Structure 1
C-alpha cells in the first residue's frame, strides 16, 4: 500500500548547521526518501507543490523556528496572493539566470532582511512561506523563489 506525507516539521535556525539540516531534508524530499512529492512507491504526485512554511519563531530570523515542508495545490498560491492584496503579506519574486536555487532563495531573503533593516517592512514573525521553482517548471525557464512574508 502506497502512502504519502502531507507535511514534515523540524525545529531549526539560520546557523550553518541549521541551513545544512534544511538542505538535508529537502534532499530527502526531492529524492523520494520522504514521500511528500512522491508517494512511498516513488510515484510523482500530480498537482501538488512543495513549499516551506516558517513559523513558531522564538524571536526573529536570528532565533529558532519551525520549518514545515508541506504539499499544497495551486489554490494555495491564489489564497496567498489574496493576502498580499489585503496587505497582510508581502510577496517577493526573485529569479536566478543560472538556475541555482540556493542563489535565488538567498537573494529573496536578503531583500527581506534589507527591507527590515531599513524599516521598509515590519515583519510579524507569525508564518512566512517560500516556494522555489526549478527552471524546467517556469514559463521563462529561470529558477524562481516566491516568498510570502507576514507584515504589519
Structure 2
C-alpha cells in the first residue's frame, strides 16, 4: 500500500514532554489538506529506533501514489487489528496502552516495521500492529 504523506513528526512516548503538542499540531496542519478528502486517513508509525519506548516517526497519510512524499507499507506483513472504542474520550491512547500491556505480557510479538491507525470516514478507528 502506498500512502502520500501529508505531515510527519519524530517523537518518543516517554521522553518527549511535547508529544501531545506535536501530535495535535501535526493533525491540525494535516486537517487543511484533509478537508476535502473523503477516504481513509492513516496515522503511520515507522522508523522505530527500538521498541515502543524508543523514538519513532509518526506520519499522516492517504492512499495516493502521487504525493510529494510516499511511504510504502509492505502488503506481506502480518497484522493484529485492534478496534478503538471511539465512545471513550481517550479511546486511541487506551487502545495503545492495551497493546503495550499485551507486549509486556508476551501475548503479542511486534516486529516494529510499520504500524498504523486507520481512520474511516464513518468515524471508526482501527490500529494495525505488525507482528511476527
Distance 1:105 1:63 in 2: 19
Larger Rg: 1
TM-score (norm 2): 0.76
Q: 1:19 to 1:60 in 2, by over 3 A?
A: farther
Compute the displacement of 1:130 (Å): 0.6
Distance 2:62 2:83 in 1: 20
Distance 1:105 1:128 in 2: 14
Residue 107 (structure 2) aligns with: 120
- Structure having the higher helix fraction is 1
Output aligned runs, 1:135-146, within 5 Å.
137-138=121-122, 144-146=124-126
What is the number of residues matched between the two proteins?
117
CA RMSD of aligned residues (A): 2.3
Q: Deviations over 1:73-104 (max 9, x none)?
A: 7xxxxxx9x86xxx811000021325x3xx11
TM-score (norm 1): 0.67
Q: Which has the higher contact order (CA 8 A, sep 6+)?
A: 2
Compute the displacement of 1:53 (Å): 0.6
Residue 49 (structure 1) aligns with: 40
Unaligned 5+ runs, structure 2: 65-72
Q: Deviating runs (4+, > 2 A) in structure 1?
A: none
Q: Are 2:84 and 1:104 aligned?
A: no
Contact 1:104 1:144 in 2 (8 A): no
